[in-house]
Amino acid sequence: MNNLRRFKKARDLGASYILTQINADGSFGNVDLGLAEYYKVPAALHCSGYDRAASLLCDWIRKKGIQQNGDFGPRPTNLPDLWDYGYLYYNIWVVLGAQKLGYYDLSERGMNFLSTFWDSISGGFYCHPNIHNEKTKQDLWVVAGCGIAALATSRMKESIGVAKWMDNLMELQPDYPDYLYSTYSRAEGLIINPNIRYRMYRGANEDQFFFHPGIAGGFLASIYMATNDRKWLDLSIKYMDFVDNASDFLFDLPRSGKVGWAASLLYTITGDNKYKKIALRVGDILIGLQSDLGYWTDMNSSDPNNDVTAELTYWLNEIHKSVGEE
């Protein structure tokens, strides 16, 4: 397909569906899901040009979502095990969206809360909501996300700390780039475990956390742009080396969205057509997964999924910014 406006068109279709999920009081979707339902929506609406709708949701977050300590909620009581190691990931998106909208009352308070999880020794962020010590695990996708939020809010100490943490994680890899191990603690170092949480195999024909090289590469490309330190660009490229020769199965999953974002940034920075091809490939895969009504589903259901729809709308905009046309 030669029409490079297709990514913008798909983004707008996704945003149009998101608009149908906004409730009269400014809340979003199924309010019983709370934070897990709305967290990506301000960023997705803003990048699609729907700032008024995003503003209404942020006003609801001020009234019902942000807590006194800067955490966001409400969090549903029937939470999956993910909350034990992905707790902060939800907060990251609210901080990012609010910062882009200029709602610094939300983004600064939210980032102040995130900063209480920062491990100044390793440079990473603790992933458990309550336990913060040398045994607490630090997962690449959460640490990178916290780095993105820190960079967006100009917390350079934490941002550089995250980049250094990623450098250390890469140095510890035993079988890279065929395998990427993604979890670390100060007590154990790199955690070698075949479980999906801890390890990815790029030749896999079963689900892997394929977003890891994308969120790492995207953050590192971003901090290179902020600092002009070539070390971070080289490290971004190294994380994205995992994508080379990755299986078609992994590319065809919605999890590839973050890989498309990182490739878009690397193409913008380097002009290397290798990254343009990856961005185009991921963008077209995401379009192929989108329903005619604009929503996406998750990998385990045919029902509309607001979480996935908001995220892929956002990544399509990032791809459009780099390789699309107006």
What is the overall mean pLDDT for the chain? 96
Instruction: Indicate the CATH number of 6-323 among 3.30.70.100, 3.30.460.10, 1.50.10.20, 3.40.190.10.
Output: 1.50.10.20
SS3 for 205? Answer: coil
Total count of residues recorded for the chain: 326
Is pLDDT of 1 > 60? no
Distance in angstroms (rounded) separating the CA atoms of residues 302 and 283: 21
Tokens describing residue 217: 């590469």
Q: Check: CB of residue 319 under 8 Å from CB of residue 9.
A: no
pLDDT digits (tens, 9 = 90+) for 200-250: 999 999 999 999 999 999 999 999 999 999 999 999 999 999 999 999 999
Determine if the pTM surpasses 0.75: yes
What sign results for the dihedral spanned by CA atoms 2, 46, 43, 95? positive
Is pLDDT of 280 > 60? yes
Q: What kind and span of H or E run contains 313? A: helix 306-323
Q: Check: CB of residue 151 under 8 Å from CB of residue 222.
A: yes
What's the per-residue H, E or C state across 278-312? HHHHHHHHHHHHCCCCCCCCCCCCCCCCHHHHHHH
What is the predicted pLDDT for the residue at 147? 98
Share of the chain above pLDDT 90, in %: 94
Strand partners, 185: 189
Phi/psi for 167 (5° steps) reads -65, -45
Q: Check: CB of residue 92 under 8 Å from CB of residue 148.
A: yes
Domains of the chain: which residue ranges? 6-323
What average pLDDT does the segment 299-316 reach? 95
Query: Omega into 177 within 30° of 0, i.e. cis?
Result: yes
pLDDT confidence tier of residue 38, bands split at 50, 70 and 90 = very high
SS3 for 136? Answer: coil
Phi/psi for 272 (5° steps) reads -75, 120
What average pLDDT does the segment 183-197 reach? 97
pLDDT confidence tier of residue 81, bands split at 50, 70 and 90 = low
Q: Check: CB of residue 132 under 8 Å from CB of residue 117.
A: yes
pLDDT digits (tens, 9 = 90+) for 9-23: 999 999 999 999 999
* C-alpha triplet 153, 155, 156: angle, nearest 5°: 130
Number of neighbours of residue 32 by Cβ within 10 angstroms? 11
Is pLDDT of 2 > 70? no
Strand partners, 201: 179
- Percent helix, strand, coil in the chain, to 5, is 60, 5, 35
Query: Omega into 194 within 30° of 0, i.e. cis?
Result: no
Distance in angstroms (rounded) separating the CA atoms of residues 164 and 160: 6
Distance in angstroms (rounded) separating the CA atoms of residues 7 and 103: 27
Q: Find, among 184, 248, 174, the residue nearest to 216 by Cα.
A: 184
What is the predicted pLDDT for the residue at 76? 79
Contacts of 197 (CB under 8 A, 6+ apart): 85, 139, 182, 183, 209
What is the predicted pLDDT for the residue at 84? 77
Distance in angstroms (rounded) separating the CA atoms of residues 132 and 309: 33
Tell how far CA 36 is from the center of its chain.
14
